[in-house]
Structure 1
C-alpha cells in the first residue's frame, strides 16, 4: 500500500502550536491533502503569532479553529465534535509547553481540550530548542505520553532557529506524512514477534568500574519503533542506555553480556525475527572484585579477560531454526569484506554494516548502512536514524517473507 493510499479518506485534525516551526504546518497540510486525507486545523493562540489562520484555512479548505470559547463553534460543542470526527489527531509542531500540558491533562485551550476528549489515536511531532528537548522534564513528559499510547514522530537533529545545533528540529513534512502513513494502516508484521537487542553491555571489574563501549542504543531503539509501526509485537532487550521506550514496545533492561544472552535465549524460540543490534562486549573480566580496586603508586593493574558467549551465534546454532536473524557489523575499515564474512560465519539471513569511528556510528543522530543478504545487497544512504530504521525494516520485511515463501513452496 502506498503512502497516498494509506491516508486516503482519513479524517485528520492537525494541531499547530506556538513554535517557530509552525510555518512548516502549511506544507504539511498541503501534503496531507495531496495524500487524500480530509483535514481540520486547530491552532493554539501562540501558533497564530507565527502563522495566520487564514493561510491554513486556504490550504486545508476549511475554517481554522483557534478559540476554545467560540460562541459559534461551542454552540455545537466544537471541541467534542472535532474529537469525535477525527480518525487521527496530529500535533505538528508540538512545543515543549504543549507536551507538558498534555501530560498534565490540562484543557485550557481548544487543542488540549480536544486531545483530552478524543478516543482516536494521537501523534505528535516535537519541535523545540535542543536543550529543551533533552531536559529531563521534557523526556519524562514524553515517557508518560508514550505510556498512554501517544505516538511521537521525530524530532530531527540539525541547525535550529536559535542558532544552535542539536536534536529538536521538526521533521520535514514529507517525513511526518510517511511516519503517519505507517501508523495509520495495519502493518506487514501484524501477528509477528520481533526481538531486538540494543545498546552496549557493561562488564564489571569491581563495584565501581566496568568495561564498556560507546554504543548509544539509538539505532536499536529506532528499529524497535519501526517494527512496532509495522504492526509487530516488539521485545527490546536494552543495555544500559538512557533512552525513552518506544510506544507499544516491551522493554527488558540488562547490563552484562550474560544477562543479555539469558534474555535473548528466553525469547528467541517465541520470535519470528531477531535483530541483533547491540554492541555486546567480546570479553569480560575473569574475576570481579568484591571491593573497589585501590590505585597504587607503582604497581600496574593487569586484568585477565575471558571471552563472552557470542549471542547471535548461540541463536543461529540452534537446530531446526525458523527465526529470521539480522546481525550488525560496526567496522573501522574493509566494511563490506568483514560484513560478508561475518554473515557467512554466523549463519545470518542479513547483516547491516556501518562505519564507526570519530563522528560516525556511535552516539550520533545520523547514520548510513550497507546491507547484505545471500544474493543481494543495498546501500542505505546517510539519514536520521529514525528514517534509516524504517528503510532497514522495509528490507527486513521483504527478505523475511521472501525466505518464508521459498521455504514453504
Structure 2
C-alpha cells in the first residue's frame, strides 16, 4: 500500500535550537517529507554545533536558513517571508533558552525573529521542548512554558525517559514519529471538540484452561484507528482494548481487558459518561461454562474433551438499552463472512442503534486496509476502500455530522 500523505500541501518551517535532541530532528524532517510536507529548515548557531545544515538540506531537499541577513528572499527579509509562507512553525528541539526567548519576545537571531514576526492568526507555532530534567522542572522554565501557551503556542511533550546526561526524568523530546503524528493531528478538523467518545477494539479471549482459550483474528487496528481519529478531531477518547499489541494513540485513555465479561464490566459504567459509543471490538459470543483449573493434558486413550458454552453479555445491546439520559449515541460494527448488508441491517434493527458499520471480517482481519459500508434506518452507503486511518477519519466525520441534539435513530447516509 502506498504511503498516506497526511501533510500533502503543507508548508512547514522546522526550527532547530541547540540541544543533543537535534539528532532526532533529522529523522523528524524525513518523516515530515515522507508525509508530503514541504519542509524549510531554520537553524540557530547552537543547533549547528550538534548537526550540520548539510544534513538537514539533504533530508529536506531545500537549502537551510541560518542567518538573519540571508539575502535570498526578494525583500531581503527572511524572518518575515519564512513565517508568512508557512502553514506552521515547529520548533524541535526547543531548548530552555529558546523557550525563554519566545516567552520574552526576544529576537536576536533568525529563528526567534521568524517566530516573532509570523502572522499569529494564520501561522501557528508548535514547540517540542528538549532539555535536562532539572531545567524542565525549574520554575523559570515552567513560567516560560505557561507564557508561550498563553500567547498561543502549542507545546508538544516533553516525555520522561533516559537523557543524554545519563539521568532519567521529564524533559526528553518526543520521538520523531510522535511529533509527526502530533502535527498531522493539529491540522485535522476538530469536528468532535468538546465531545467524549468510548471505543472498544480488538478480540476477546475466553479461557478454557490456564493455557488455552477461544478467540478470533481481530487485530484491533480499526478500533485503534477510530480512537486516534476521534482524538485528532478533538474528542476525549477512552479505548477499551482486548488482548492486542498496538501502541496507544496519543491523548487516548486506554483500559486493557481480556474476556467479553471484563469488557462488559469496563464499558457499562463508562457509557453514561460519554457522548458516543463505537463498538468496534470483535467480542466472543460464547465462553466455556467452566474453566479447567489445570491445563487439559493430551493423554493416550483419553477421550477428546468437550465443552459446554454459555452466552456472553451483549455489550452494544446493553448500552443501547440504557435510559435515554444515560445512553450515548451508538455505532455498532458487523464483521461478517457473507451477506454483509443483510446481516448488518438485522444487527441495526436487533440492537436498535442509529448506525451499523459493516465489513467482511476475513477480508480485513489483520490488514491495514478495509472497506466499510454504513447502514442506517434509511439505507446504506459504502465508503471508498482505503487504509484504516483514512476510513476512521471518514467515519468520525460521519458521526460528527449525525450527532443529534437528542437521540434518534439516524440521519440518511
Shared fold (TM-score greater than 0.5)?
yes
**2:345 — aligned with what?**
340
Three-state SS of the structure 1 residue aligned to 2:284 is coil
Gaps of 5+ in 1: 1-9, 31-38, 69-73, 92-100, 108-115, 125-143, 156-175
The equivalent position to 2:231 in structure 1, one of 222, 228, 241, is: 228
Gaps of 5+ in 2: 1-10, 17-24, 66-71, 84-88, 95-105, 136-143, 158-169
Contact 1:189 1:231 (8 Å CA) reproduced: yes
Give, in angstroms, the shift of residue 150 of structure 1. 9.4
Contact 1:268 1:274 (8 Å CA) reproduced: yes
Contact 1:238 1:254 (8 Å CA) reproduced: yes
**2:331 — aligned with what?**
326
Deviations 1:105-147 (A, max 9, x none): 8x9xxxxxxxx988643679xxxxxxxxxxxxxxxxxxx9999
**1:181 — aligned with what?**
187
Runs ≥4 in structure 1, deviation > 4 angstroms?
A: 10-16, 18-23, 39-44, 55-61, 63-68, 77-86, 101-105, 116-119, 144-151, 176-179, 402-407
**2:321 — aligned with what?**
317
Give, in angstroms, the shift of residue 233 of structure 1. 1.5
Deviations 1:264-316 (A, max 9, x none): 11111121111000010111111111111111223212122111011111111
Contact 2:240 2:255 (8 Å CA) reproduced: yes
Give, in angstroms, the shift of residue 203 of structure 1. 0.7
Three-state SS of the structure 2 residue aligned to 1:216 is coil
Give, in angstroms, the shift of residue 328 of structure 1. 0.2
**1:251 — aligned with what?**
254
Kindly indicate whether residue 54 of structure 2 is the aligned counterpart of residue 49 of structure 1.
no
CA–CA distance in structure 2, aligned partners of residues 75 and 356 of structure 1? 57
Q: Structure 1 residues 337 and 282, CA, compared in 2 at 3 Å: closer, same or farther? A: same
Q: Which has the larger radius of gyration?
A: 2
1:353-372 correspondence runs (5 A): 353-357=358-362, 360-372=363-375
The equivalent position to 2:124 in structure 1, one of 87, 102, 105, is: 87
Give, in angstroms, the shift of residue 245 of structure 1. 1.3
Three-state SS of the structure 1 residue aligned to 2:216 is coil
CA–CA distance in structure 2, aligned partners of residues 66 and 323 of structure 1? 40
Q: Structure 1 residues 150 and 297, CA, compared in 2 at 3 Å: closer, same or farther? A: same
CA–CA distance in structure 1, aligned partners of residues 406 and 265 of structure 2? 27
CA–CA distance in structure 2, aligned partners of residues 404 and 180 of structure 1? 30
Give, in angstroms, the shift of residue 342 of structure 1. 0.7
CA–CA distance in structure 1, aligned partners of residues 131 and 383 of structure 2? 36
**1:76 — aligned with what?**
108
1:46-125 correspondence runs (5 A): 46-54=55-63, 62=82, 76=108, 78=110, 87-89=124-126, 120-121=153-154
CA–CA distance in structure 1, aligned partners of residues 180 and 272 of structure 2? 33
State how many pairs are aligned. 326
**2:296 — aligned with what?**
293
**1:387 — aligned with what?**
390
Kindly indicate whether residue 403 of structure 2 is the aligned counterpart of residue 400 of structure 1.
yes
Three-state SS of the structure 1 residue aligned to 2:191 is coil
Structure 1-normalised TM-score?
Answer: 0.65
Three-state SS of the structure 2 residue aligned to 1:284 is strand
**2:207 — aligned with what?**
204
CA–CA distance in structure 1, aligned partners of residues 331 and 93 of structure 2? 51
Q: Structure 1 residues 122 and 330, CA, compared in 2 at 3 Å: closer, same or farther? A: farther
Give, in angstroms, the shift of residue 47 of structure 1. 3.1
Structure 2-normalised TM-score?
Answer: 0.65
CA–CA distance in structure 1, aligned partners of residues 341 and 233 of structure 2? 28
Three-state SS of the structure 2 residue aligned to 1:53 is coil
Give, in angstroms, the shift of residue 362 of structure 1. 1.1
CA–CA distance in structure 2, aligned partners of residues 153 and 345 of structure 1? 43
Q: Structure 1 residues 406 and 258, CA, compared in 2 at 3 Å: closer, same or farther? A: closer
Three-state SS of the structure 1 residue aligned to 2:267 is helix
Contact 1:227 1:393 (8 Å CA) reproduced: yes
